[in-house]
Amino acid sequence: MLRKTLVTVVVLAATAAMVTPAFGQSLGGSKSSLNRQNQQARAHDFTFLRDGTHVNTFVVAGLLVRLPGNSNYQLNAVSYPYARPEVKLFVERLSAQFRGACGEPLVVTSLTRPQNGQPRNASTRSVHPTGMALDIRRHNTPSCRTWLEHVLLSLEARKVLEVSLEHRPPHYHVALFPDPYRQYVVRLAGATAASTPRTPATRTAATGTYVVSRGETLWRIARKHGTTPAAIKAANDLRGTTIYPGQELRIPAVR
């Protein structure tokens, strides 16, 4: 019965990218996988953070956000509970689906890890110092492991992340590709909206405009202006969270 339930959840969880993994795809990790992770870090113009002070600078600037944990996911022995906004979105979505499938919270064991905090066995090319990577504990229940591995490999096949299984200690290393993942979520949201009757949206009164700079996210802009991403989306009739350099946004009034 448990196996049947898990299979049902996998089929229904369209937001988990249920596609068949590519032939030969595995969790073994490789030099080419590291190359792809570093190429994405460069494409996003991400900085490799040196130490805790450097991490805090990025937190204050809004480039890294806090992952506080909730009923769907827990942090265990995480030195710096911060990551790129898209990593937080990924964890929140994945953990909700994981809890629905397995009845237990997902356990995150590492997020942003500065260069001076890397373990001895870490690769010198690790992207943990950029805030785009996380580690997830390997679950003890075989059916839950199968579910999670299938989802992660499916997302890797979508080219929105790279995943490998590490053994000391056992965990999944995930390097998320922020822009591709955000675009993927927007496409999913669009597909869902297209199949759901829409009700007229109430536009929030705007107090001014803001021109998006390179590398900015809706989360960062909302934080800067003391509002929320949802309020900005409503004020600009945005269906997703994708924004572009040079785009002019109406900033809603704070109520």
Domain membership of residue 8 (yes or no) is: yes
Do 42 and 152 fall within a single domain?
A: yes
- Confidence check: pLDDT of 206 > 50: no
Do 16 and 110 fall within a single domain?
A: yes
What distance in Å separates the CA atoms of residue 25 and residue 185, rounded to the nearest whole number?
23
Question: 213: domain CATH number?
Answer: 3.10.350.10
Percent of the chain with pLDDT over 70: 81
Domain membership of residue 97 (yes or no) is: yes
Domain membership of residue 134 (yes or no) is: yes
The chain-wide mean pLDDT, for the chain, equals: 82
Q: Which of 165, 180, 195 is the last residue of a domain?
A: 180
pLDDT in tens, 104-156: 999 999 999 999 998 887 788 899 999 999 999 998 889 999 999 999 999 99
Count the domains in the chain: 2
Q: Range of 169's domain?
A: 2-180
Do 39 and 145 fall within a single domain?
A: yes
- Note the pLDDT of residue 10: 38
pLDDT in tens, 43-86: 999 999 999 999 999 999 999 999 999 999 999 999 999 999 99
Domain membership of residue 191 (yes or no) is: no
Residue type at 76 in one-letter notation? N
- Confidence check: pLDDT of 201 > 60: no
Domain membership of residue 99 (yes or no) is: yes
What distance in Å separates the CA atoms of residue 235 and residue 218, rounded to the nearest whole number?
13
Domain membership of residue 51 (yes or no) is: yes
Do 23 and 102 fall within a single domain?
A: yes
Q: Taking Cα atoms as reference points, which of 131, 124, 153, 125 lies closest to residue 26?
A: 153
Q: Evaluate whether 59 touches 148 at the Cβ level (below 8 Å).
A: no
